[in-house]
Amino acid sequence: MSGIDCDEVLREVEAYLDQELPGDRRESIERHLRTCSPCAKRADFQQRLREIVARKCGRAHAMPESLFVRVRMVIEEERGPTSA
């Protein structure tokens, strides 16, 4: 067991992809992604999306904030309601 659940991983996946997490937290997420196919697929999708947007927008590491917000809204809508 990785010690963290899917909700935690999905809340932090952007920071993970941006390498903004401390080493121990990053390792916990990596362990979870190795054992949880749905979370790994989500992380892979987000990474590929970032790469496509960067390539299409001509930027190496950033996507327009408005596009990021719109994509995030669609992802959250697809996830459905989450418990707070």
Provide the 8-state DSSP code for 3: S
Look at residue 73 and give its three-state secondary structure: helix
Please write the tens of the pLDDT for every residue from 30-46: 999 999 999 999 999 99
CB 79 within 8 A of CB 72: no
Please write the tens of the pLDDT for every residue from 6-65: 999 998 998 999 889 998 999 999 999 999 999 999 999 999 988 888 787 765 556 677
Buried b / exposed e along 18-45 (16+ C-beta atoms within 10 A): eeebeeeeeebbeebbeebeebeebbee
